[in-house]
Amino acid sequence: MSYVAHDASAFAPPAEVQEVELYHAKTWLGKYVFSQDAKVIAIQYAITAIGIGVVALVFSWLIRLQLGFPNTFSFIDPSNYLQFVTLHGMIMVIYLLTALFLGAFGNYLIPLMIGARDMVFPYVNMLSYWVYLVAVLLLVASFFVPGGATGAGWTLYPPQAILQGTPGESWGIILMLVSLAVFIIGFTMGGLNYVVTVLQARTRGMTLMRLPLTVWGIFMATILALLAFPALFVSAIMMILDRTLGTSFFMPAIVSMGQKLEYAGGSPVLFQHLFWFFGHPEVYIVALPAFGIVSDLLSVHARKNIFGYRMMVWAIVAIGGLSFIVWAHHMYVSGMNPYFGFFFATTTLIIAVPTAIKVYNWVLTLWRGNIHLTVPMLFAIGFIFTFINGGLTGLFLGNVTVDVPLSDTMFVVAHFHMVMAIAPVLAVFGAIYHWYPKITGRMLDDTLGKVHFWFTFVGSYAIYYPMHYLGFLGVPRRYYAIGGTDFIPESVQSMNAGITIAALIVGAAQMVFFYNLVRSYFKGKPSGGNPWEATTLEWQTPHTPPTHGNFGRELPVVYRWAYDFSVPGAPQDFIPQNVPPPEAATGARDRA
């Protein structure tokens, strides 16, 4: 590691070099495959997650083909259709979004943004990725076992998940549950790292209240995940036992295919409680990192400090806390005590308060900012629109009386895709366009990026806006075919066909993105160290892409928050976090 004096910290008092024992890889295998460097692990997480995500994207095309053009495709039978629906949901929520936000962005950004050389437990961090890979492979293996993958819906509700008649009830469901359990073990290894690194490894001067909001979002989401994933683990273990050893945790006495089964007395609602105790925090596990990333993108590309930083931090904490006491709003039609419904509707609506605070603060950050409509900024603004849309339909579904008729209709599908699929994915794209120059040293192509943005953004609305109307009409979700149903007019079919065409176009537009990723890696414009003129520490590294150890010989010292943009009197419109105060005000050379 060579010492490079970079001007930003040249006048800082000689920083005490922290003794950090970094494991330096000696072999190619140790450097690129079994690497303990958080940045390499991040890339591995990202490639695996996006790879399996593309599989789920193809599944969504197949779902849409069936819905848009029924009786056309002979290779989609009802069982396949249910398997596609199940795996699309499961992969997107857990294996793509959770792994990408926490495993990939968490690993890449946390050490760089807080001024650390690496995660605090690099070996465990490496294991975390390999365990995640095993979970993904188990999931993929379930496509190929006898009976195929499970088709129980991504919520895997018993009793149907393990009864004859549901696709994959023999092997698919077991592999699915084992894969989830393995995923959770792997995630816990990574999650310990993210939390402890943020708490322990911040560089000098990086107080909690100077952390970029991206780190806050990932940090809080990791805490949620560490505490909520055990609920999924518990339900997976108990369902595996119900399926394999004949226990009756969730299985009631039941007659299946004319045969009385051995089960007796179990409670499917117990599973729903456990599942949603994980499932609702999961929404915020993917939303909080998106909140953080979007806050930082808006601030950088509007050249303006984030509005209400402390409020933003407290809103993240409040949302995280509240997300644990709203789970039963997914269960209004499960037959639970109606008073519970009243309680959970109230808590659900309360969560709108900190969320609305965040939205107002984003808008106020843009207000009179020097807005650069770069590709990351377009995605960040797109996120705000989409999140508001999805959030507002959440108010409908949070109220018991409105929810009951809308339950299990396309309205629900439209709502959660807007709020926790499209919105976080827009944040992911914004983040990739923003940080790609740091990861590779090259810019992504701007024109291709804008094409990608407009097709994705407008296309998503073309998919999901009409879907709300289908829901109002009562079109049910998860159905292979609607058939002749009295209350559903003929025109629903043409709307479904239109949605399918939009979905195919949006999916194809993602190929532009992948092409851009690959092409720019070789032919992109060299970016330099800080192309967006951002303030956070990852942009102040001596090398781009950062080398092992991130910061050369000396760790940066932090003197200010991450949002010193357009400070009156400052020579530039941004002041990096590691620039000491007097120099920033009077110009660095006076002090020399």
Partner 1 sequence: MTITLVFLALLLAVVVWWLVKQSINVQPWVAGGSTEDVHGSVLVQPTLKLGLWVLLAVVTSLFALFISAYAMRMKLGDWNPLPEPGLLWLNTGVLILTSAVMEWTRAAANRGQKDGVRTGLFAAGVLTVAFLAGQLVVWQQLHASGYFLGANPANDFFYVLTALHGLHLLGGLVAWGRTTAGVQRGVALGAARLSVGLCALYWHYLLLVWLVLFALLLST
**Nearer to partner 1 (CB atom), residue 123 or residue 515:** 123
8 Å CB contact between 271 and 158: yes
Among residues 55, 133, 141, 227, the one that binds partner 1 under rule CB under 8 A: 227
User: Residue 207 Cβ, how far from partner 1 at the closest point, in Å?
Assistant: 7
Least distance in angstroms from the C-beta of 205 to partner 1: 3
Q: Does 291 bind partner 1 (CB under 8 A)?
A: no
Q: Minimum distance from CB of 219 to partner 1 (Å)?
A: 11
For residues 435 and 444, the answer to whether their CB atoms sit within 8 Å is: no
From 154, 277, 379, 435, residue interacting with partner 1 (rule: CB under 8 A): 277
Q: How far apart are CB 101 and partner 1 at their closest, in Å?
A: 19
Q: Considering the complex, what minimum distance in angstroms separates the CB of residue 291 from partner 1?
A: 17
* Cis bond upstream, residue 159 (ω within 30): yes
All residues at 6 or more sequence positions from 134 whose CB lies less than 8 Å from its CB, including other chains: 182, 186
Return the residue matching tokens 């499932």. Answer: 279
210 vs 301, which CB is nearer to partner 1? 210
Q: Give dist(CA 169, CA 173) in Å, integer.
A: 6
202 binds partner 1 (CB under 8 A): yes
> How far apart are CB 13 and partner 1 at their closest, in Å?
6
C-beta closer to partner 1: residue 31 or 303:
303
580 contacts partner 1 (rule: CB under 8 A): yes
Task: Work out whether 513 is an interface residue with partner 1 (CB under 8 A).
Answer: no
Task: Name which of residues 544 to 573 contact partner 1 (CB under 8 A).
Answer: 557-561, 563-564
**Applying CB under 8 A, does 303 fall inside the site for partner 1?**
no
Separation of alpha carbons 578 and 571, rounded Å? 16
Q: Does 532 bind partner 1 (CB under 8 A)?
A: no
Question: Which residues from 338-397 bind partner 1, rule CB under 8 A?
Answer: none
Query: What is the per-residue binding string for partner 1 in 105-124, x denoting contact by CB under 8 A?
Result: ---------------xx---
Of 244-252, 283-291, 425-433, 462-470: span binding partner 1 (CB under 8 A): 244-252
Residue with structure tokens 């926790």? Answer: 420
Q: Is the peptide bond before 545 cis (omega within 30 degrees of 0)?
A: yes
At a CB cut-off of 8 Å and minimum separation 6, what does 192 contact?
121, 124, 226
Instruction: Name the amino acid, one letter, at 37.
Output: D
Nearer to partner 1, 309 or 411 (CB): 309
Among 274, 290, 414, 470, binds partner 1 (CB under 8 A): 274
Out of 142, 305, 460, 530, the only residue in the binding site for partner 1 (CB under 8 A) is 305
Least Å distance between CB 54 and partner 1? Answer: 31
In this complex, which beta carbon is closest to partner 1, that of residue 180 or of residue 422? 180
Give least dist CB 69 to partner 1, A: 44
Question: Distance (Å, rounded) from C-alpha 445 to C-alpha 128?
Answer: 33
Provide the β-strand partners of residue 526: 442
Position 234 contacts partner 1 (CB under 8 A): yes
> In the chain, what is the straight-line distance between the N-terminal and C-terminal CA atoms, in Å?
27
- Exposure string (b/e) for 102-132, b if CB count within 10 Å is 16 or more? bbbbbbbbbbbbbbbbbbbbbebbbbbbebb
Nearer residue to partner 1 within complex by CB, 196 or 504? 196
Q: How far is the CB of 155 from partner 1 (least distance, A)?
A: 17
Residue 100: left if φ>0, alpha if ψ -120 to 50, beta else—which one?
Answer: alpha
When binding is defined by CB under 8 A, the residue of 238, 261, 444, 509 that contacts partner 1 is 238
Residue span 307-346 as binding mask against partner 1, x where in contact by CB under 8 A, dash where not? --xx--xx--x---x--xx---------------------
CA-to-CA dists, residue 384 to 203, 361, 411, 472, angstroms: 32, 11, 20, 25
Smallest distance, Å, CB 532 to partner 1? 20
Distance CA 580, CA 9 (A): 8
21 lies in the site for partner 1, by CB under 8 A: no
Cα separation, 502 vs 457, whole angstroms: 11
Q: Pick the closest to residue 57 from 536, 421, 397, 366 (CA basis).
A: 421
Number of residues that bind partner 1 (CB under 8 A): 65
Query: What is the separation of C-alpha 305 from the centre of its chain, rounded to a whole number of angstroms?
Result: 25
Q: Closer CB to partner 1, residue 141 or residue 237?
A: 237
Neighbours of 282 (CB within 10 A): 25
How far is it, in rounded angstroms, from Cα 513 to Cα 452? 6
Nearer to partner 1, 278 or 435 (CB): 278
Distance, in Å, from the CA atom of 3 to the CA atom of 9, rounded to the nearest integer, reads 13
**Residues within window 250-269 making contact with partner 1, judged by CB under 8 A:** 262, 264-267
**One-letter amino acid for residue 358 of the chain:** K
* Residue-by-residue DSSP string for 260-279: E-S--S--HHHHHHHHHHHH
What residues from 431 to 450 belong to the interface with partner 1 (CB under 8 A)?
none
13 interacts with partner 1 by CB under 8 A? yes
Does 201 bind partner 1 (CB under 8 A)? Our answer is yes
- Give the whole-angstrom CA distance, residue 515 versus residue 262: 54
d(C-alpha 467, C-alpha 478), whole Å: 13
Question: 3-state DSSP call for residue 255?
Answer: strand
Measured from the CB atom, is 209 or 511 closer to partner 1?
Answer: 209
Helix (H) or strand (E) holding 256: strand 255-256
Check residue 10 for interaction with partner 1 (CB under 8 A): no
Q: Which residues of the shown chain bind partner 1 in the complex (CB under 8 A)?
A: 13, 16, 120-121, 188, 191-192, 195-196, 199-210, 223, 226-227, 230-231, 233-234, 237-238, 241, 245-249, 262, 264-267, 270, 273-274, 277, 305, 309-310, 313-314, 317, 321, 324-325, 557-561, 563-564, 575, 580-581, 584
